[in-house]
Structure 1
Amino acid sequence: MIFRPLLLGLGLLCAAPQLSAAESSDPPFCLEQQEEENLKAQAYIRSYLAIAIEEMNRSGIPASITLAQGMLESNYGRSELARQANNHFGIKCGKDWSGITYYKNTQEQTAYGTQRTEMACFRAYESVEDSYKDHTNFLYSRKPYRTLFAARNMDYRFWAKGLKEANYATDVNYANKLIDVIEKFDLAKYDRVSTQYQLPSNTDLNAYRADPNLDMGEDLSTVRNRVERLENSLQQALAHQIELQVQLKEMNRQIGQMAKRDDRLNGKINYVGTALEEQKEVIEELQIELNTVSSIQRQMLTLDPFRDYFDPETGLKKQLVIFPTQHHNQKGIFYKNSRRATTLREGMTLDDIAQEHQLELKSLRRYNDLSMGEEDNLPPNCYIYLEAKGNMVEDEKGPHKVNEGESMYTISQLYGIKLSKLYKRNRLEEGEEPAVNEFIFLNETCDNKPALRGANPYQVGENQPNVDLFGGGGAKK
């Protein structure tokens, strides 16, 4: 985020025994070692506090727990797994992981307290931020941790003990170690931090202004970075504008019900109205700057040797893979959601697949939610099911986040679930498509309908639905 308040000072934290080691009878560290550990902890907290708080606001996991786990599991970001794979939480691959992997020997503690060494597969990430986000998704999508989220309890002791009871780690002292880290570095205070939006200053705006004469000389990555920063700033400003409008409307409603006007309430209304006007001016100025930089970006994209990977109008990276490659048996079949399926290979038609597997074409259409003629528009490498798709998805992984280029149909084919069930559980009418970054529930019925593709989530009117500006439509409460 661009307008992020300062969250951590530079003073030294209190020293204590090394957090990742078990209790021992060794003598206390010397002063130099204690200071070195504190400096490592400070550097780690300073680097990842903001993303920990963002994940807390997104999921409800206390920032103190996320930071403590990261510090403990990665040895302040200095472990082999952290340095080589950006994995700060020791999360192993699991059968549902299809991303990058990293293999290494690991020490596991048995139920009797003894240690054993084994070679294990761990998840790897492009960045540490991806590791933090996957940590949230991992806990949220696993049944053993659901009681932690359902309790809506921000007490770090409750979470530390709950993680151990859910067997997050084999270490019998895992809960106590987490609590020691949190109390040693006073991490619990960040569980009460809320990243509030602040109006950008003139200095901020000057930093984002575009000079076409200078920008044409900059490299493409610099211009793209500026566009991304302006877009993020504009989204925050628009989100804050909607919050102010909602507050103003609610205050006006309260005034209409009051027999006598309250001077203090009128003062608040005047303040919100003034802030709203200031916000409109900021949005207009940011929009002008964004249009200028976007125009320069489109010109430079035409000269970029990698331009085929970007849409020249939006500057967004194209969706290259919708259906991951599957291993087929000798009959050209693989199993998805316990259903027999194959892949629509290049140059093949649905009729070719029907003849190859001795099926009627109308049956194949019915299995794959297709009407006559629709098979001509199937995406490349689309999964084709040779029997009826399921009503549920086995081994539920949580909701699916919509990527660029995906549709309700491709999502139903990706998981092997009937399209009608997918529409119903997400409160969508046939033909409606969710916007990119919205969540589509697979086995549960969502509470809120996701934002639709092509809709403007920032326009507020009498009939405008209440949507989530940053994805997460259909999120469970």
Structure 2
Amino acid sequence: MTTVLHQLLGFALRHWLRLLIVGCALILLTKKQVNFNVRLGSPDSGPVPEKMAPASLNEEPSVLTDASPEASGGSLLDRLNVFGTKDELDPYELLTRTDEQQIEAFIRRFSNVAQAEQGKFGIPASVILANALLQSQAGTSGVATDYVNYFHLPCTTDWPGTRARAHNQCFRRYETAWTSFRDHSLYITQGDFARMRQFGETDYRRWAAGLQELKFNDNPKLAEQLVRTIDRWQLFRFD
């Protein structure tokens, strides 16, 4: 018996790396099987429509056209981002890899909201939709799903609302999708961005260029990616 134990111990010491890999693989397969069984055994109750509430302004929000689609969680490696492949892709490339049905559902859901914001602030609805699509990856990014921040707006010194941290940055946190869209409209029509209101409400190319020039974020290709997003999904039809 002692000899057998010594042999087993020697085998384990010689092949510990292989045994560790096999063990991890078995754990992952077990988790996937459990998740599959849970999904198979529970009926899909469908997405719950989001309860909308106005922001601090005393007005009724625009009604969203569709309930919020369930964001795809992606694979285990995508969620853990072990190899950093997602970080190496620009927002537009990431968006093109997002499920097309997710993108179309996002556009249907927020097209009326974007048009209402255009009517109030003069921002092209196409720019609003394209910016939301790019920044939130059609509503699937962690900042969008966890903090309802569809534009990844950062905290600023004058931001009085709730704050949240992600990716070592401070982001604004909202209670509803409508407040996220309304705050975005205020954000890009006040302060340094106020000069963009001179552009026409259908001149999405100038608005895109202005957002990049005035440093909406650190993306050096923001204008190009906004225009490509608008053209690819024909968002100009909402202007």
Whether TM exceeds 0.5 here: the answer is yes
Aligned to 1:159: 207
Q: 1:171 to 1:23 in 2, by over 3 A?
A: closer
Say whether residues 1:181 and 2:181 are aligned partners. Answer: no
- Superposed structure 1 runs of 4+ greater than 6 Å apart: 1-4
Aligned to 2:90: 22
Q: 1:80-137 deviations in whole A, cap 9, x for unaligned?
A: 10011000011111000111111011xxxxxxxxxxxxx2111000001100000011
Instruction: Give how far 1:150 is off.
Output: 2.1
Aligned to 2:135: 73
User: Which structure 2 residue ranges, 5 or more long, are not aligned?
Assistant: 1-59, 67-85
- Give 2:189's match in structure 1, choosing from 140, 164, 168: 140
Aligned to 2:114: 52
**Residue type matched to 1:22 in 2?**
D
Instruction: Give how far 1:37 is off.
Output: 2.4
Q: 1:183 to 1:126 in 2, by over 3 A?
A: same
Corresponding residue SS for 1:53: helix
Q: Contact (CA 8 Å) 2:126, 2:204: kept in 1 or not?
A: yes
Q: 1:248-304 deviations in whole A, cap 9, x for unaligned?
A: xxxxxxxxxxxxxxxxxxxxxxxxxxxxxxxxxxxxxxxxxxxxxxxxxxxxxxxxx
Percent of pairs with identical residues: 28
Say whether residues 1:131 and 2:180 are aligned partners. Answer: yes
Aligned to 1:336: none
Instruction: Give how far 1:147 is off.
Output: 2.0
**Residue type matched to 1:134 in 2?**
D
Equivalent-residue separation in structure 2 for 1:175 and 1:37 (angstroms): 23
Q: 1:3 to 1:96 in 2, by over 3 A?
A: closer
Equivalent-residue separation in structure 1 for 2:210 and 2:225 (angstroms): 13
User: Which structure 1 residue ranges, 5 or more long, are not aligned?
Assistant: 8-17, 27-32, 106-118, 192-477
User: Whose helix proportion is higher, 1 or 2?
Assistant: 2
Higher Cα Rg, which structure: 1
Equivalent-residue separation in structure 2 for 1:46 and 1:61 (angstroms): 18
State the superposition RMSD in angstroms: 3.0
Aligned to 1:84: 146
Equivalent-residue separation in structure 2 for 1:40 and 1:91 (angstroms): 22
Aligned to 1:334: none
Q: 1:154 to 1:3 in 2, by over 3 A?
A: closer
Aligned to 2:171: 122
Instruction: Give how far 1:3 is off.
Output: 11
Q: What TM-score results when the alignment is normalised by the length of structure 1?
A: 0.31
Instruction: Give how far 1:2 is off.
Output: 11
Aligned to 2:238: 190
Corresponding residue SS for 1:140: coil
